């Protein structure tokens, strides 16, 4: 099944969002958070990192959306 085309700018924004929140979550989970919250914050950071990797894969393997020339009307 083919995925819907997503514009490259939107994919880049999502990549930055997920990588940024994953870095913040991992740093907070490992260094700042109290011991009761360490595991959950680090796990959320790893999940966000995985989502960032997924959108990176989409960005690198997506075929450009080329408009179909058959649908254009000819000028007369």
Instruction: Express each pLDDT in 44-69 by its tens digit.
Output: 999 999 999 999 999 999 988 877 77
CA distances from 58 to 4, 9, 37, 47 (A): 11, 12, 32, 17
Two structure tokens written together for 8: 């490259």
Check pLDDT > 70 for residue 76. no
pTM confidence score: 0.81
> Of 3 and 72, which is predicted with more confidence?
3
């Amino acid at each position: 099944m083919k995925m819907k085309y997503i514009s490259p700018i939107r994919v880049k924004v999502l990549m930055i969002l997920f990588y940024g929140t994953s870095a913040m979550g991992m740093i907070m989970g490992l260094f700042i958070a109290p011991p009761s919250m360490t595991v959950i914050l680090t796990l959320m950071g790893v999940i966000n990192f995985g989502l960032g990797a997924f959108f990176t894969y989409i960005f690198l393997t997506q075929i450009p959306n080329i408009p179909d020339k058959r649908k254009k009307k000819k000028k007369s």
